[in-house]
Amino acid sequence: MLQGKSAIITGGVRGIGKAIAAEFCKNGADVLLCYRSNDEQAQKTAAELSQHGTRVELLKGDVADPKTAKEAVARAKDLFGKVDILVNNAGITRDKLLMRMSAEDFTDVISANLNGSFYFLSEASKVMIKQRSGRIINLSSVAGVKGNPAQVNYSASKAGVIGMTMSAAKELGRRGITVNAIAPGFIDTDMTAVMTDDQKAKIAEAISLGRTGKPEDIAKTALFLASDSASYITGQTICVDGGLTM
């Protein structure tokens, strides 16, 4: 589905980002994976994904720094000759009740999740406009659709991603570029691994399908949006949540 395509994936060495990268590589794409700190995990992921026969490159940097986006896009263009797909996946949480949330807790999450997505969107779109083609996929969250207690910062950042997605889709559509968002529900990742089985069971009760999701559920949606099969879809937010937001 993605033979000959190239992709930049932020937060691409573990969790949902890694699952998306694996799906892309299995389907023929070369990938540049951006990560912030875990060198050992990054090397391990790159080695695993390289077994699919496509190029897997790494770039270390903080998405909250606009220089990282500039470097990533320049490197991808140098390595692959083009930038076909951008997946804005990197994000952080600083969960606290509103009365205990500091200004730093709020701005750190906005800087990484919203500002970081903007920096990469801005840089990648410049290349895609010249190519007159591209696929941009932003990771939002059901927290950005319906809010969540103790996540004022995270919900605000992910709601912002949805608004940014729609505005960018309107600007870039006539240049052959689609911009869509995925809003995952409760997905089994490292972030949720610390929760008890009882806590997970209570959450599953609120999900229509009666179970939590897997990173692969998000990855397959990203693959669809990155492919030619989704060429007439733009400005949309797809909730992959098992019915949690219904």
Q: Any idea where the domains of the chain sit in the sequence? A: 6-238
Signed CA dihedral, 7, 9, 12, 17: sign only: negative
Annotated ligand binding at 35? The verdict is: no
Residue 16 has a pLDDT of: 97
From CA 219, how far away is CA 19, in angstroms rounded? 6
Annotated ligand binding at 27? The verdict is: no
Annotated ligand binding at 155? The verdict is: yes
Crossing angle of helices 15-26/39-50, nearest 10°?
20
Residue 196 has a pLDDT of: 78
- What is the arrangement of strands in the sheet containing 30-35, beginning at the earlier edge strand? 56-60, 30-35, 6-10, 85-88, 134-139, 177-184, 237-240
Residue 23 has a pLDDT of: 98
We find that the CATH architecture of domain 6-238 is 3-Layer(aba) Sandwich (3.40)
CB 123 within 8 A of CB 69: yes
Residue 191 has a pLDDT of: 67
Q: Is the pTM of this model over 0.85?
A: yes
Active-site amino acid positions: 154
Q: Return the C-alpha torsion angle 123, 124, 130, 133, nearest 10.
A: -160
Report, as ranges of residue numbers, the positions in the chain whose pLDDT lies below 70.
Answer: 191
